[in-house]
Structure 1
C-alpha cells in the first residue's frame, strides 16, 4: 500500500523525532580544539582512548587487550590492558603475543605477491599446478580466486575438532567430498580452506615450509620479535611457563635475568562455555593453516603494517594494489573484499578482522596521504567484534575518520555497501531471524516530495513485541523509543553508516535494570548491523 504524501511526512517527522530522542538530543558536541598530528589531546566526545578501552573491556568482560596506533612512520601509542591469563600473574604488555586469527591471511597474501614478484607463481595459475591430488572441481580454481575467496570451496572450520592436531592435507580432507557452494568466480564467501590451499601453493613455489617462508621474508626482515607460530613457542619464547606459581612467581627471575624483563609471552585464549571462560590450548590455532595460525603483538602488527604501506614487503605498487583493491568477479560484480581485507567507501580505508580459538583481532588502515592512521586491537576472548571501538579510537586521532556521532548514544559502523544494498541486507537479516519490519521511512524520498534534497537517510523500524512489552511493563515511558530502529545514511563523503540506539544508555535513561534483556537486545542489534555492513561472516 502506498502512503499519501501527508501520511509519509507525518511518519517521517515522527521517526526523526524518535531517532532524535534516542541518539541526538543529548549529544550536541561540545566545542573542542582541533586534534592535529602529534597533539596530546586525544579524545572523542569527551572520552579519552583509555576510557573507551576500559569501558569496552568492562562491558565485554575481556581478560585483557592490547592496542597499537600508527601515524606513519611512527607508532606513537602501544599499550596493554588487563591480564593475558586468568590463572597466572601475566599482564598484557607491548610484547604480549596473541593469536591474530584471520589477520594471518594478510601475511599469506603478502607471501603470494612476493613469490609472484620472484616469478615463482602467477595469479592465474590453477591451484592444481602447485597442490597435487585435488578433487576435480577444485583443480581449475586459480590462485587469484583463492585470494578473492571466490573459489566456492567449503570452509573446513565447521568440521574442526580443537582437541585434534591436523596436517594441512587432513584439513583439505575434511571438505574434499563436499560440492562447491557456488560456481568458482561468481560469488565471495570466506573459507579457511582457500587460505590453506594458498599456503600449500607457497610451499610448492618457494621450496620451503609456509611458516619458514613467512619468517624469512616478513617476520625476520621487519624484526618482528614478538611474532611467531605456536609450534615455535618452546624454541623462541623467553618464558618457561609453569602450570602454576605455588609460593613464588617465575617473574621474580627478572631481577637476575634480562630476558625476563618485559618478556615475550603468549596470551591464554578464552572461549565462553556455559557462561564460564574456558581456556583454549594454543595448539588449536595451528589448525588454521595460512588463515589464522600466526601469533603477534599489536606493536609488531603495526610495524609490519607500516612495511606493507611501502615497498619493504611487496616491491611493486601494481602488486600491492592486488591486495588493496576490491574483488571484481567475472560477471562484473564488485565485492569490497580481498583475502580477509574489507573496504568501505572511505577513501583508502581497509580492515581485516575476525576471531579464532580463544581470540579476537582487528587491524584497520587509513591509507590516504592526509590520514595515515592504523589501529590494531587484539584480545584473548573469542567472538568479540572490535570494529566500533577501533573506529572510535581512530576518530580520536582525526575527527573525520569516524561517523561524527557520539557512540555512547548511537552505536555506528561504516558499511562496505551503498545505502540501498545495506538496507536490503538489514531486511534479509531480519527475515532470517523472523523479526517483523513494522515500517520503513525513506527521508530522502520524503524530502524530494516537497522539492528538497537530502542524502540517502532511511529508518527501519522492527522488533519483537514480547521483548518490548516486557520492558514497557517495567516503565511504559520507554515505549517512546520502541520498537527498535536502525538508521542507514550516506554522509557528504559518500560513506554509508549503520546506526542504532545505544541500548545501555537507553536503559539508563529509563531506569531499566533488566541487564540480561538489554544485553540480548544489544547482541541482536549488533548482529544485524554486522551482517548488513560486512562482506564476510566470521
Structure 2
C-alpha cells in the first residue's frame, strides 16, 4: 500500500508539472504582448523585465533597441540606469550598519557629521532617508547639482540655504540628505560608500554586471538614455520620437542616483534581500519597508500610487496587494508585493516612460484579480458600483448609483475617480461603458466643467457630434478658460 501511494503521488506530480509550466508560459506570452504594445504606445526603445516567485526568477526578457544611433538590439546583458532606485541600496546600506551596531536610524545626523548648520543638527537619519527632513535641496531649479558638480562648492552653497520646513511636517523629495548619508556610510564603514555598497550588496547578491556610472563614462553594453522632451527656453517641448538624454552624477552624489544594472541582477538583489543574505534580521527589513509617519499622523509620497516613503524605498500603501516600489528617473521601477509571493522589475532606457504604472497590470497575469479590467485599483465605492453595473448594465448607471446611495448614505462616488475610471474603460475598448460613467459623473457633479469636457470627448469618439458639441459648450460655460472645450467647439462647428 505504501509503495502504491508513492507511485500515485509521483504520477500526480508528473501530470501537474506540465500544467504549472504551461500556466507560466501562458502568463509570459501574454506579458510579451502587453509589453510590446506599451513600448509602441510610449515610444520606449528598450525594456527589460524580471519576475520573481518562490525565490527564483520565473521570467527574464528583453525587448527592443539599446542603441538607436547604431540600431543595436538590447539583450539580457544590456545595462540600464536605475537612477533614484539607487536610494533603495542606500537604505539597505544604512540598515546593514545598524545591524553592525554602528548607528540607529533615530540618531540625529549631527552625531556623525561635524560643522552642520544649527537648524540641521536635530534632523534624524530616518527623516533624511524618508525625505521628511526639511533640508534645502542640493539641486537647483533646473535639477542640476549646485556648484557645477564640485563637491566642496555644492556643500558650501547648500549649507548656506534655509531649511524648507519643520522636520517631519511633510514629504518633500530631496537629494541633500542622501549626500549626507554618503558621508556617514563612508565614515562609519571605513571605505567609500560606493565600495561599501559594491562589496555588501552587488557582490553579496551576485550582481555581476551592476556598477556605478553616468553618461560621461564609457560603459560596455550600455542601453543608453533617451527622452521625448527637449528644452526650448524655459519650456520643455515633447517630440514625436526619442532623443538622447545626457545625465551626470558626480561621485559624491551617487547615493542619490548613479547605479546601472540589469533586470536579472536587480532580481537577484531582491531574492538575496528577502532571503536574509543582505539583512540578517527580519526587523531590519520591516523597518526598511515601513513608510514614515508625518507629524500629522499621515504618510506622504510622490502620488496616489507610490503614496508613502520608507528608508530609501517608496511604498504602495493600500489594503489590497500592498508593495514597496522604488522608481528611478521616470524610466525604471520595481515592485515587491508584501503579501504576495511576487516581485517585478521593469527597466527601460526612456525617461518619462514611467514603467511603475504598468507593473500592477503585469502582476495581474500572475494574480488575475489585479488586472485593471477586473476592477483592481478602483475605490471601494466604485467597486460596489462596478459590481452593480455588471449585473444591471452600464446603461443603468444613474439608477444603480442611486440605489447604492439609498442603502448606504455615506457612500461617495468621487468625481476624479469616476473620471479616471471612464478613461480606463476607454483604454479597455469599452467606449459605451465609459460613456455611461461620464454621463453619471455629470449627473452627480452638474457644476463640473471637467466632467462635461470628458463627456464631450467620449461622445465625439463615438461620433455623436451633436451631443459632444452640447457637452463642450456646457463645459466652456462652467469654465471660460477651458481651451480644449473651446478648440473642440470650433472644430465641430466647422463640420
Name the CA distance, whole Å, in 1 between partners of 2:277 and 2:180.
25
Select 2:332's aligned residue among 361, 366, 373: 361
- Could you report, residue by residue, the CA deviation over 1:404-456 in whole angstroms, capped at 9, with x for unpaired residues? 538xxxxx7578xx989xxxxxxxxxxxxxxxxxxxx9999955652358965
Name the CA distance, whole Å, in 2 between partners of 1:59 and 1:152.
38
Select 2:183's aligned residue among 200, 219, 242: 200
Q: CA, structure 1 residues 234+191, in 2 after alignment: closer, same or farther (shift >3 Å)? A: closer
TM-score between both structures, scaled by the size of structure 1: 0.63
Q: CA, structure 1 residues 457+220, in 2 after alignment: closer, same or farther (shift >3 Å)? A: same
2:314 maps to 341
1:289 maps to 254
Q: CA, structure 1 residues 228+346, in 2 after alignment: closer, same or farther (shift >3 Å)? A: farther
Instruction: Give the secondary-structure state (helix, strand or coil) at the position aligned to 1:77.
Output: strand
Select 2:414's aligned residue among 445, 458, 464: 458
C-alpha contact (below 8 Å) 2:117/2:159 kept by paired residues: yes
In the alignment, structure 1 residue 312 sits paired with structure 2 residue 293 = no
Instruction: Give the secondary-structure state (helix, strand or coil) at the position aligned to 1:96.
Output: coil
Select 1:278's aligned residue among 237, 243, 247: 243
Name the CA distance, whole Å, in 2 between partners of 1:72 and 1:510.
50
Name the CA distance, whole Å, in 1 between partners of 2:334 and 2:20.
22
In the alignment, structure 1 residue 61 sits paired with structure 2 residue 43 = yes
C-alpha contact (below 8 Å) 1:70/1:375 kept by paired residues: yes
- CA apart distance, 1:362: 0.7
- CA apart distance, 1:344: 2.1
C-alpha contact (below 8 Å) 1:64/1:379 kept by paired residues: yes
1:136 maps to 118
Name the CA distance, whole Å, in 2 between partners of 1:109 and 1:173.
25
In the alignment, structure 1 residue 269 sits paired with structure 2 residue 269 = no
In the alignment, structure 1 residue 177 sits paired with structure 2 residue 160 = yes
Select 2:193's aligned residue among 210, 214, 217: 210
C-alpha contact (below 8 Å) 1:101/1:292 kept by paired residues: yes
- Could you report, residue by residue, the CA deviation over 1:192-219 in whole angstroms, capped at 9, with x for unpaired residues? 2222221221111111111110001000
Select 2:207's aligned residue among 208, 220, 224: 224
- CA apart distance, 1:96: 1.3
Instruction: Give the secondary-structure state (helix, strand or coil) at the position aligned to 1:327.
Output: coil
1:436 maps to none
Select 2:266's aligned residue among 290, 298, 301: 301
**Matched ranges for 1:509-520 at <5 A:** 510=463
Select 1:157's aligned residue among 108, 128, 139: 139
Name the CA distance, whole Å, in 1 between partners of 2:417 and 2:24.
41
**Matched ranges for 1:323-402 at <5 A:** 323-335=288-300, 336-338=308-310, 339-346=312-319, 349-356=322-329, 360-368=331-339, 371-402=340-371
Name the CA distance, whole Å, in 1 between partners of 2:281 and 2:250.
32
**Matched ranges for 1:456-535 at <5 A:** 457-460=413-416, 510=463
Q: CA, structure 1 residues 165+77, in 2 after alignment: closer, same or farther (shift >3 Å)? A: farther
**Matched ranges for 1:419-430 at <5 A:** none
Instruction: Give the secondary-structure state (helix, strand or coil) at the position aligned to 1:362.
Output: strand
Select 2:23's aligned residue among 13, 35, 39: 39
Name the CA distance, whole Å, in 1 between partners of 2:290 and 2:455.
33
C-alpha contact (below 8 Å) 1:168/1:289 kept by paired residues: no
C-alpha contact (below 8 Å) 1:171/1:193 kept by paired residues: no
Instruction: Give the secondary-structure state (helix, strand or coil) at the position aligned to 2:267.
Output: helix
Q: CA, structure 1 residues 509+194, in 2 after alignment: closer, same or farther (shift >3 Å)? A: farther
Per chain length, whose mean CA-contact separation is higher, i.e. which structure has more relative contact order (CA < 8 Å, sep 6+)?
Answer: 1
Q: Which has the higher strand share?
A: 1
- Could you report, residue by residue, the CA deviation over 1:108-142 in whole angstroms, capped at 9, with x for unpaired residues? 00000000111111212211222233222112111
Which one has the largest radius of gyration?
A: 2
- CA apart distance, 1:401: 3.3
Name the CA distance, whole Å, in 1 between partners of 2:456 and 2:83.
29
Q: CA, structure 1 residues 345+293, in 2 after alignment: closer, same or farther (shift >3 Å)? A: same
C-alpha contact (below 8 Å) 2:325/2:336 kept by paired residues: no
